[in-house]
């Protein structure tokens, strides 16, 4: 019998797509079948389609992302009777895996109602619930997930098999009779979960098992509890994330409509919100004007807040400092026992650890891409249609792996800093995991130019072992390419002026870059401007101790006396000798280290940072206060002097020193610094546009996660076309994408 075959590609598994197709077919009286396979969803229909293909795109389920609907003719051996959902076929993966999704309104109402799932912590349907964190392999069926050990009871089976039910083919379906269970564990003794409120009430710390790992929770309004958590976790200043209902969040933060939309997104990320209203203990986020908030995103979190009932909770990653988040019950008991007074446990395994995603609404940007956002894919720009399969292996910090296949780029989840042994193990696991899950067989391996990065060595070894082509990519070129690719810049779209500001990246000249203006495209780049280099005294120690960066900048400006007065306890003589002789003091143009230098001059954690970016984040908060008071950055910006391609810093620090002597408020000094950096680079980028050398300006690198600097740079660029990161991180979290598209561009040209 003559008919049609419809291939649907995109995020179409685990989102209720097959029952959606079944309902469309029923409405139209069509016969045939629908199934999952490695390429997505396959539909076969006898006779006419009656508008089915158009409805697939127009009426897709909430969590679906349809990339393509391809229709071709098909001949049935025998005429089908009715329309059926049939078993999945094939192995391997060409389709997109759906990220985990926050509890939908229907399931939340069910949890709060009187039915059989009242207060059940694992309630879900095809519109919400776990996906990637429980998935072992594709196709997405229950047997391939960590729900496999839980056999459906008759009631759940009836819902699962009923096309009219929203749980029709919902793979994690469960209820209290047949699904996972939750309990509270205190001193090795199992207790009812409802007793968790009493632990929190007593200023206790609770380890809570979520979707992608454990969190550490405590009463966010209790200064004693917050201080205890910091002491136990040995985390003196890094901000804690917070969880609360939307009404609670409004009591402590300004919340715009755009921010409400982000909070309520199915990804349920942490959203950075400006402090407002009632005050929480300063220890929640020392020195910061914003707080990271998220809504409860699983039934367990909703039930936890209901049992607690007293406002916001701190909800920070459950891990030893520097290690990956804990995901297993036994691992939690072993590693977190010294941190917590109780465990809120359950018996559904976590297939892969995922941190919480972190985002900001204004300007829109993703700061950490993880739970709820991965493993979504990005279509490659025009010109990359024939790109081979490529794997990009990132840098050393904020590691994330990128795979290119079939015109799509899949950027993996945030892994962390690869110096830590357990994080490296997580990296190796993710490498094997993604390759197997997505049936990826690379022809090309792309790595950072720095040969000593662990990911670079790993990629080189794999290329040599498997006979693959190896492409070494300069760090800041990768940043530029990642920004271009995210914005869909065509392969042959012309050159872009990239303002690339970050911490550290090896340049082809052997120095350490980090404050660059590049003119380039996917094929190559030229360095057209950079911050005057300064020694990184002590190498890596310069990243942890801001006074070292301030010392060399002040000395270079003839302000040795000011440096001596600002840092009397620092070993200045030894540091100066090291800088003069070039002993463990590589030259660097890093914008991140310039932030550290200015922060140290203002007394912001001058001797040591307790976490990466602390000085810069506090400096941004300080500058933002001046802007909030109505000060205009343009009126008092410091200025760099030009010396060829160099932005020289001596005049800048001389003006800063004069302001210090005159008693100018630290907030004003911080704002003038931000304005100087924005205007200094914007002026040079504008000249590349006006000369016709560049067609747009890209703002990238971790420093551009600074919202104030981003706004000031955009203001200085005026009406010029600007490419910015929105859905991927500006920091090294998107570096692997840049590496991969540069390697693909080389392959296209070859």
Distance of alpha carbon 230 from alpha carbon 239, whole angstroms: 10
Cβ neighbours around 294 below 10 Å, total:
24
For strands 40-46 and 2-11, give the pairing: antiparallel
First to last CA, the chain: 47
Contact 540, 586 (CB under 8 A): no
Q: Which of 36, 124, 222, 319 is catalytic?
A: 36
Query: Over 80: is that where the pLDDT of 222 sits?
Result: yes
What DSSP state is assigned to residue 285? S
Question: pLDDT by residue (tens digit) across 296-319?
Answer: 999 999 999 999 999 999 999 998
- Domains 2-85 and 368-489+730-749 fall in the same CATH topology: no
Question: pLDDT by residue (tens digit) across 543-589?
Answer: 999 999 999 999 999 999 999 999 999 999 999 999 999 999 999 99
Mean pLDDT for the chain overall: 94
Contact 546, 618 (CB under 8 A): no
Question: pLDDT by residue (tens digit) across 641-698?
Answer: 988 899 999 999 999 999 999 999 999 999 999 999 999 999 999 999 999 999 999 9
Question: pLDDT by residue (tens digit) across 118-167?
Answer: 999 999 999 999 999 999 887 778 999 999 999 999 999 999 988 889 99
Q: Which of 7, 9, 18, 157 is catalytic?
A: 18
3-state SS class at 602: coil
Catalytic residue list contains 441: no
Question: pLDDT by residue (tens digit) across 448-499?
Answer: 999 999 999 999 999 999 999 999 999 999 999 999 999 999 999 999 999 9
Task: Supply the pLDDT for residue 94.
Answer: 55
CB neighbour list of residue 577: distance below 8 Å, 6 or more residues apart: 583
Q: Could you tell me which CATH number the domain at 531-724 has? A: 3.30.420.40
Task: Supply the pLDDT for residue 196.
Answer: 97
Query: Over 50: is that where the pLDDT of 532 sits?
Result: yes
Q: Could you tell me which CATH number the domain at 182-359 has? A: 3.90.870.40
Contact 418, 431 (CB under 8 A): no
633 confidence band (pLDDT: 50, 70, 90): very low
Nearest to 708 by CA among 678, 664, 666, 667: 678
Structure-token pair, residue 84: 């059926």
Task: Supply the pLDDT for residue 267.
Answer: 95
Nearest to 204 by CA among 182, 180, 224, 181: 224
Catalytic residue list contains 36: yes
Nearest to 558 by CA among 640, 651, 660, 643: 651
Query: Over 60: is that where the pLDDT of 632 sits?
Result: no
Q: Which among 91-105, 615-629, 709-723 has the top mean pLDDT?
A: 709-723
Task: Lay out the sheet containing 214-219: strands in order across.
Answer: 189-191, 182-186, 342-346, 206-209, 214-219, 313-317, 241-243, 290-294, 270-274, 358-360, 365-368
What share of the chain has pLDDT > 90, as a percent?
84
Q: pTM of whole model > 0.85?
A: yes
Question: pLDDT by residue (tens digit) across 39-57?
Answer: 889 999 999 999 999 999 9
CATH fold for the domain made of 368-489+730-749:
Nucleotidyltransferase; domain 5 (3.30.420)
Task: Supply the pLDDT for residue 579.
Answer: 95
Task: Please provide the DSSP assignment of 320-357 as one string.
Answer: STTSPPP-SHHHHHHHHTTT-SEEEEESSPPSS--PBP
Instruction: Kindly state the average pLDDT of the residues 497-505.
Output: 96
φ/ψ of residue 578, rounded to 5: -60, -40
Sign of CA dihedral 303, 309, 311, 317: negative
Task: Supply the pLDDT for residue 441.
Answer: 95
Task: Supply the pLDDT for residue 464.
Answer: 98
Question: pLDDT by residue (tens digit) across 419-430?
Answer: 888 889 889 989
Q: How far is CA 386 from CA 67, 373, 743, 746, in A?
A: 18, 26, 13, 12
Structural domain spans, the chain: 2-85, 182-359, 368-489+730-749, 531-724
Task: Supply the pLDDT for residue 461.
Answer: 97
| Domain 2-85, CATH among 3.40.10.10, 3.40.50.300, 1.10.10.10, 3.30.70.100 | 3.30.70.100
Strands (E), 375-452: 377-379, 390-392, 402-405, 408-411, 444-448
Looking from the CA of 686 toward its CB, the CA atoms found within 13 Å total 14
Structure-token pair, residue 730: 């500006």
Contact 637, 676 (CB under 8 A): yes
- Which range among 321-325, 604-608, 633-637, 721-725 shows the weakest confidence by mean pLDDT? 633-637
Contact 402, 412 (CB under 8 A): yes
């Amino acid at each position: 019998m003559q008919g049609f075959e419809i291939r649907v590609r995109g995020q179409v598994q685990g989102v209720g797509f097959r029952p959606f197709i079944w309902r469309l077919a029923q409405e139209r009286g069509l016969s045939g079948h629908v199934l999952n396979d490695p390429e997505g969803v396959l539909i076969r229909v006898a006779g006419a389609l009656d508008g089915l293909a158009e409805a697939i795109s127009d009426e897709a389920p909430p969590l679906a992302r349809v990339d393509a609907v391809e229709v071709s003719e098909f001949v049935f051996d025998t005429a089908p009777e009715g329309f059926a959902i049939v078993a999945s076929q094939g192995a391997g993966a060409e389709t997109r895996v759906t990220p985990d999704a926050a509890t939908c309104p229907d399931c939340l109402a069910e949890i709060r109602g009187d039915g059989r799932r009242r207060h059940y912590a694992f309630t879900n349907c095809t519109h919400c619930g776990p996906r990637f964190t429980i998935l072992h392999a594709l196709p997405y069926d229950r047997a391939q997930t960590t729900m496999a050990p839980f056999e459906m009871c008759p009631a759940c089976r009836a819902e699962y098999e009923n096309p009219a039910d929203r749980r029709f083919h919902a793979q994690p379906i469960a209820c209290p009779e047949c699904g996972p269970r939750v309990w509270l564990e205190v001193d090795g003794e199992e207790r009812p979960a409802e007793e968790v409120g009493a632990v929190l009430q007593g200023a206790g710390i609770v380890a809570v098992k979520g979707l992608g790992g454990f969190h550490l929770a405590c009463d966010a309004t209790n200064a004693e509890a917050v201080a205890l958590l910091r002491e136990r976790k040995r985390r003196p200043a890094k901000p804690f994330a917070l969880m609360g209902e939307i009404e609670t969040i409004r009591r402590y933060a300004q919340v715009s409509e755009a921010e409400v939309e982000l909070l309520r997104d199915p990804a349920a990320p942490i959203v950075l919100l400006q402090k407002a209203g009632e005050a929480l203990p300063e220890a929640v986020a020392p020195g910061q004007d914003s707080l990271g908030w998220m809504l409860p995103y699983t039934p367990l979190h909703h039930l936890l807040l209901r049992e607690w009932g007293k406002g916001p909770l701190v909800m920070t990653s459950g891990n030893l400092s520097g290690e990956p988040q804990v995901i297993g019950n036994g691992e939690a008991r072993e590693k977190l026992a010294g941190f917590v007074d109780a465990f809120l446990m359950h018996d559904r395994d976590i297939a892969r650890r995922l941190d919480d995603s972190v985002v900001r609404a204004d300007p829109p940007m993703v700061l950490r891409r993880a739970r709820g956002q991965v493993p979504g894919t990005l279509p490659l720009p025009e010109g990359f249609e024939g790109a081979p399969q490529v794997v990009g292996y990132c840098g050393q910090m904020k590691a994330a792996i990128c795979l290119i296949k079939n015109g799509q780029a899949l950027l993996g989840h945030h892994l962390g800093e690869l110096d830590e042994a357990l994080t490296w193990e997580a990296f190796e696991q993710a490498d094997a995991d993604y390759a197997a899950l997505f049936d990826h067989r690379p022809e090309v391996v792309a790595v950072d130019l720095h040969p000593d990065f662990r990911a670079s060595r790993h990629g080189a070894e794999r290329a040599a072992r498997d006979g693959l082509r190896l492409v070494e990519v300069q760090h800041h070129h990768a940043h530029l390419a990642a920004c271009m690719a995210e914005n869909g810049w065509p392969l042959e779209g012309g050159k872009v002026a990239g303002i690339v500001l970050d911490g550290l990246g090896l340049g082809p000249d052997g120095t350490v870059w980090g404050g660059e203006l590049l003119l380039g495209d996917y094929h190559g780049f030229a360095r057209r401007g950079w911050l005057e280099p300064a020694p990184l005294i002590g190498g890596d120690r310069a990243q942890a101790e801001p006074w070292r960066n301030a010392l060399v900048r002040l000395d270079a400006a003839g302000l040795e006396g000011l440096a001596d007065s600002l840092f009397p306890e620092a070993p200045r003589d030894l540091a100066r000798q090291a800088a003069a002789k070039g002993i463990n003091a590589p030259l660097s143009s890093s914008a991140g280290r310039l932030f550290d230098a200015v922060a140290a001059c203002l007394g912001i954690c001058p001797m040591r940072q307790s976490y990466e970016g602390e000085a810069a984040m506090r400096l941004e908060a300080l500058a933002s206060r001046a802007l909030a008071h109505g000060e205009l950055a343009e009126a008092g910006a410091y200025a760099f002097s030009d010396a060829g391609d160099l932005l020289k810093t001596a005049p800048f620090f001389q003006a800063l020193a004069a302001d210090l002597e005159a008693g100018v408020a630290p907030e004003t000094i911080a704002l003038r610094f931000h304005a100087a950096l924005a205007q200094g680079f914007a002026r040079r980028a504008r000249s590349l546009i006006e000369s016709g050398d560049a067609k747009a300006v890209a703002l990238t690198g971790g420093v551009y996660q600074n919202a104030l600097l981003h706004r000031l740079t955009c203001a200085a660029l005026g009406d010029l076309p600007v490419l910015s990161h929105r859905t991927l991180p500006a920091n090294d979290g998107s570096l692997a994408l840049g590496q991969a598209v540069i390697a693909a561009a080389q392959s296209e040209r070859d």
